[in-house]
Structures are given as C-alpha cells and as structure tokens.
A and B are shown apart, each in its own frame.
Chain A
Amino acid sequence: MKKILFCLPLLLLLLPQGIKAQEDAFRYLDPIEKKYADLKDYTADVMVHFDIETFKAPDMQAKLYYKTPDKMKVESKRVFFFPREGGYFNPSLFKKEDFEIKLLERSTERSAKLVKLKLTPKKAKRGIQDFVLTIDTDSQLIREMGVTQFDGREIKAVIEYGRFDRFELPAHIQLKLDIPSFETEGVKEFDQLIHKPKRITGTIEIRYSNYKVNSGLSDEFFKEPASSKGM
C-alpha cells in the first residue's frame, strides 16, 4: 500500500510530461501537412534499379500516378516491379490522428536540424508495426523513413528532393531492404521447416523525373480493370 501511495504521485507527475512529448512531436508533422496541402495529384516518370542478390532484374521504367489521399498507379508497357513501402511520395500518409507519435531524438547534420519521430499506427494497416521518420525541420522535409512490419520486414528510405513546379518532390529515393527470404504466410516447404529463414538484404534506387503536378487526375483513372485485380 505504501508503495502504491509512493508511486501514484510519481505517475501523476510523469503523465503530463508524456502528453507534452506527444504534442511536441505533433508539431513537426503539422508544417509538412500544410506544405503539401495544395498538392492534389502528380504524375512522374520513374526508373527503378535493383541491387538485390536474389532479384536479378534490369532497370525498369514506368509512369507513376498519385492522387491524394492514397491513390497510386503505375503504368508500363513491360513487366514492372515497384516497391510498395517507401517507393513513392505520399504527403497524406502521416496524418497525426492516425498515429501514436514519439520523439526519439534531435540532431544536427550538415547544419540542418533534424528530428527523429517514431509513429505507431493506431489501427494496424498493411502489417506495419511502426514508422521512424527523420524530418529536416528547416526545410520541412522527410529525409529518411524507416518501416518495420510485424513479420520482420524492415525497409529504410533515404529521400533526396528536387523542386518541381512549386513543390519539393523526391528526385531520388534509395530503399534499403532487409526482409525474410521465405514466405512468412501459408504452407511452408520442407526446407523452410528444417532451416532457419535467411534474410535478404539489398537496395533499390528510384529516380523520378518529368513531374506534372495537379493535372486533375480523376478517381476513375485509378480503378483497376477487373481482369488485373490479381496482379
């Protein structure tokens, strides 16, 4: 009883600190949301280069279409693989009401002030456990984004920006992958049962060019034809 009486005031003292830290973290996301509030859609040419030992593929090119809040489509005449997490810029992805936000650290790198935030989704979506964002507070840009998924997938995106129209949009994204080599769902093969799953590591470089911003893409444009839903 004495212990409880001792701990209770301590907890009451710490609680406002926690709320304050969350509010503090929120204020780094707000300016980014405001900065891209006028960005409704964009179209860009993308070139993807794979540097993964078990993914032997030449450079691939396609056209990428994005519309707020979360519509994305790629078009290519040939077979095209595009990374789902971290491969494209979605300014509407980090809405503060969707996440528990924690400030991890503040730092300075090449005279730029950086903050590192950990965003834990309130509702589990696409198996994502958390995001770790490195935000440049001077230019209000997300410089790095780490994604950790519940099945052990880890993806880190390093983003370089260019000015297109009146927006700063990614010109180059480097994705570092660290993922299990075997499927983590479904029936496992004999090899998967007797051997510990290996991990696949590698990088994917994505270059963006020829941006067209706010060209008024319709919602219908992003609807998949029924025959290609499985792809």
Chain B
Amino acid sequence: MKLFWFETFKTFSRWRTYISFTVIGLIVILTEVVMKLSANEIVYRMLRSFQKDFLVTGNILNAWFVTAFIMNSLHIHIPFLITLVAGDMVSSEATSGTIRFLLIRPPSRSRIIMAKYLTALFYTALLVIFFALVCVSLGLLLFGSGDLIIHHYGKFDIAFIPESEIPLRILFAFVAAIWSMSVVASIAFLFSTLAENSIGPIIGTMAVVIVFLVLGNLPLDFFRTLKPYLFTTYMINLWQQFLNIPIPWPEIWRSAIILGLHNAGLFLIALFVFKRKDIKS
C-alpha cells in the first residue's frame, strides 16, 4: 500500500498528468457550450426521422442527453489521455535511468509492478470520474434535467428513460466506463514494460485501439465475424448497455468478465516481462 501511494504521489507530481484533466475539461466545456448554442439544430437532426410521425415536446436536450452524447466519444479521446500516463509508468523509469535504483531496493519486482499497475488504474478511474463530474454538473447548469431519449441516428429506434431512473443508470454507466478504460490502461502499461521510452507505448496503444475500432466498425461480413474477438467491442458496449430498456444484465456481465480477463492477462504478461527485465545492460 505504501508503494502504491508512493507511485501515486510520483505520478501526480508530474505536470503531464494534469494535461489529461485539462484536455477533458476543455473538451466537455467546449462541447456543451456549442451544444447550448446550436440546441435547435441538434434536436432537429436527432429527431428528424421522428418529426414526420410525431410532435415532440419537452426538454429533450438536457444534461443526461448531453452526457450520453459526450460519452459516445469516450472511446476516441479518453484512451489517448490514459496512455499519456499509463504508457509512461515503467518506461519513464528506464528513460530517466532510475529503474536500476528502483529495483535494487528491498521491495520485490512483483510488488513494484503491482503498485505501478494499481496507480495506472487509479489514474484511469480518477480521469473518468472527473469526466463524469464535469459532464453532469455543467450539463445540469446549462441544460437542466429531464427524461433521457436515446436515439439511433437515422433509424426509427428510440429508448425513453424516465428522469427518476437516470442518475443511477448514469452512475453505473460511468463505473462501466472505468472498467472499459482499464483495459486501455493495461495495454499501455504492458507496452510500457516492454519499451525504454514513453512514445512507443503511447503510439502502440493508440494504434491497437484505433485499428480494433476500425475493424469492428467496417460494415462487411468478414469484419462482423471478427467483432466478438475484439476487446473494443465490449469496451464500447459495456457502458452503453446501461442506457438500454431493459438493462441487459447477462450481456453486461459477459462484457465485464471478458474485459476483466483482458486486464488479468495483460497484467500477468507485464509482470512476467518486468520480472525478467535485464537492467544490467
């Protein structure tokens, strides 16, 4: 535990750790202000396929809709911000030449790598929590509350979630988002144990995430069969399931377990690599 707090202190002493929080804050503020200014256009585009058949009234563009809207871009920008720190956890020690000093101290390599991994996960959780707080609080301030309408663009498909159910569902969705993003942190962490500098793990992790996302979204049968084998499928699906009617718990548990197995597997590989790391050369 002492090692974990030591690593956490070290991580949060670096200014680059705060880049992510600043970027997230800016993205959310900018998005919500623009959404506020172009509210009518957004509602029109969102409900275009319904306007022909239905007269729609009420506060559709509310804090919960805006939060769900911004969360949809979670799999694009948050992984990059996570890799900035998680991809630097071990490789920065090699870059700055402190890895030898670290490993000749009494704590075992397993304990050191465990503390660093937990710090990476802690940072990931804090980033998503910060994202959630900014999204929801600014959303409530600018747009107010209301029922949540989840609509699949261009299709006659809608899920209407009553206002009373939303806070709990959003809370679950963000917990699921933390769990999803922990896989990105695990990949970046593994790459970090393999590399001697921080650029490689950051670029490597983003390459994996982007390639998997692209493959999983290509509308061709071959890639559709590939989709269940890509972790990104479960990464996106997991939090979104909490905004379905009814909540598909078996699917959620399945996604959570698959992502958990990814985390465990990636950490074990990182542990194996780190334990065998040659620091003499």
Contacts and interface: CB of A to CB of B under 8 A. Distances in A.
A127 B54 CA distance: 14
Contact of B60 (A62, A75, A79): A79
Interface string B127-156: 000000000000000000011010001111
B79 to A, nearest CB: 25
A230 B40 contact: yes
A80 interface: yes
A54 B40 contact: no
Contact of A81 (B44, B49, B56): B56
Nearest to A64: B55
B228 to A, nearest CB: 19
Contact of B160 (A58, A83, A155, A190): A58
Contact of B158 (A55, A185, A186): A55
B52 A78 contact: no
Contact of A82 (B54, B154, B155, B157): B54
B156 A179 contact: yes
Contacts of B57: 62, 74-76, 79-80, 82, 228, 231
The prevalent SS among residues of B at the interface is mixed
A37 B79 CA distance: 66
B43 interface: yes
A72 B159 CA distance: 26
Interface residues of A, number: 42
Contact of B154 (A78, A183, A229): A183
Given A84-B55, A85-B53, A194 B156 contact: no
A119 interface: no
A79 B154 contact: no
Interface residues of B, number: 33
Contact of A153 (B40, B52, B59, B219): B52
Given A79-B147, A85-B53, A231 B158 contact: no
Nearest to A82: B55
Contact of A78 (B47, B49, B58, B159): B58
B53 A84 contact: yes
A97 interface: no
Contacts of A55: 156-158, 160
Given A79-B56, A82-B55, A230-B40, 6 more contacts: A54-B157, A74-B57, A76-B57, A186-B154, A189-B154, A231-B47
B278 interface: no
Contacts of B53: 83-85, 153, 155, 177, 179
A227 B59 CA distance: 12
A85 B48 CA distance: 16
Interface in A157-187: 177, 179-183, 185-186
B111 to A, nearest CB: 49
Contacts, number: 104
A214 interface: no
B50 interface: yes
A216 B2 CA distance: 76
B163 interface: yes
A123 interface: no
A217 B61 CA distance: 29
Contacts of B47: 231
B51 to A, nearest CB: 8
Interface in B40-95: 40-41, 43-44, 47-50, 52-60
A174 to B, nearest CB: 16
B218 to A, nearest CB: 9
Nearest to B57: A80
Given A80-B56, A81-B50, A84-B52, A231 B40 contact: yes
A230 B44 contact: yes
Given A74-B57, A82-B54, A179-B53, A231 B159 contact: no
B245 interface: yes
Contacts of A228: 57
Nearest 10 Cβ contacts at the A-B interface? A230-B40, A79-B58, A57-B160, A56-B245, A79-B147, A183-B49, A54-B157, A81-B54, A230-B44, A82-B55
Nearest to A187: B154
B106 interface: no
B107 interface: no
A219 interface: no
B162 interface: yes
B215 to A, nearest CB: 15
Contacts of B44: 230-231
A75 B154 CA distance: 27
A191 interface: yes
